[in-house]
Amino acid sequence: MGMQACNLQNLPENYALRFWLYHLMTWPQISFVAEDAKGQIVGYVLAKIEHPSEDDKEAHVHGHVNSISVLRSYRRLGLANKLMLLAQEAMTSIYHAEYCSLHVRRSNRAAIGLYRDSLGFEVAKVEKGYYGDGEDAFSMRLNLQNKN
């Protein structure tokens, strides 16, 4: 519920509690939170693992970051960077994920700075009108091979 509350404050993309619970129960090792001294959640990363379908022999197991955010007064302290690194490390060490993917609004300068400049993600493709309000998404990827 703390993750959901943080998400509601920070992003227009919100999810029912069962969506959070499904991820946390299915892949409990790859999502993380940052807490303040009182135990309030001030940042989180919610992630999942995608397994290739039996028909797609070329596809690989990969991690996907559904959502990440940090409360405004805790930004620019390196929290999101640390949350992403923890998720990426767990994706490879536990699930042997070959890459990590995510979607981000093309106007989201802070998040694109985090993914591209700090973590080394690249834009794999542009998904036109991906968001509810019609904004395009960058579909980004980071190769996790040789990362850990």
Q: For binding to ligand ACO (CB under 6 A), which residues are involved?
A: 10-11, 65, 67-70, 75-81, 102, 104, 108-111, 113-114, 117-118
Alpha-carbon distance of 12 to 104, in angstroms, equals 12
Compare residues 15 and 61 and give the one whose CB is closer to ligand ACO.
15
- The nearer residue to ligand ACO, 28 or 120, going by C-beta atoms, is 120
State in angstroms the smallest separation of the CB of 137 from ligand ACO.
Answer: 9
**Could you tell me the smallest distance in angstroms from the CB atom of residue 64 to ligand ACO?**
9
Which residue is nearest to ligand ACO, using beta carbons? 113
Parallel, antiparallel, or unpaired for β 99-105 and 122-127? unpaired
Cα–Cα separations (whole angstroms), residue 113 to 19, 110, 138, 140: 27, 5, 13, 12
Which residue is associated with the tokens 């797609």? 56
CA dihedral 83→88→91→92, nearest 10 degrees, is -150
Distance of closest approach, residue 55 Cβ to ligand ACO, in angstroms: 27
- Cβ proximity to ligand ACO, 14 vs 145, nearer residue: 14
Query: CB-wise, 57 or 124, nearer to ligand ACO?
Result: 124
Rounded to a whole number of angstroms, the minimum distance from the CB of residue 135 to ligand ACO is 12
Category of 12 on φ-ψ map: left (φ > 0), alpha (ψ -120 to 50) or beta: alpha
